[in-house]
Structure 1
């Protein structure tokens, strides 16, 4: 597949924003948050070129890519990659709005 367009769901955007805000406030600096964003961009560049790198979840539609302590859940629809959830594994799974 050619490079896929990456679309973030509203929930995934909110989750990512919440995580970045947490680290900025906790550290009193945006340095770590910016580093994390750079790492996310690297993963998404790879994903846009090789969109089947994520393993299939139990629903056989959604894929997941691990990134340190985070999981990026996504689905491939036509030539688009939709990020459904950006999940910090240290959170309680019950809080995750996205269900597999």
Structure 2
């Protein structure tokens, strides 16, 4: 949301400074599940299903990884422009860890 705000409005909300835990905690994001819950896990799927999903999503994983890299680059540009740390190292590491293999 911080990147979106910076790109759309040319300003950065005060809660976007990840080093200011008080301001960071003031962000009230929206999370909507539309009344649907899903409790199954990847581990519960048969190996054949996982293999087929991996095959079908090869290009998706490449696109996702490129998107994460682009997001991080864009955030770093915003950080340079506003002089505020938006994506702290733990958050960046978490994003990179979730990148698909």
Structure of larger gyration radius: 2
Structure with the largest fraction of strand:
1
Q: Same fold (TM over 0.5)?
A: no
Query: TM-score normalised to the size of structure 1?
Result: 0.29
Query: TM-score normalised to the size of structure 2?
Result: 0.29
Structure with the largest fraction of helix:
2
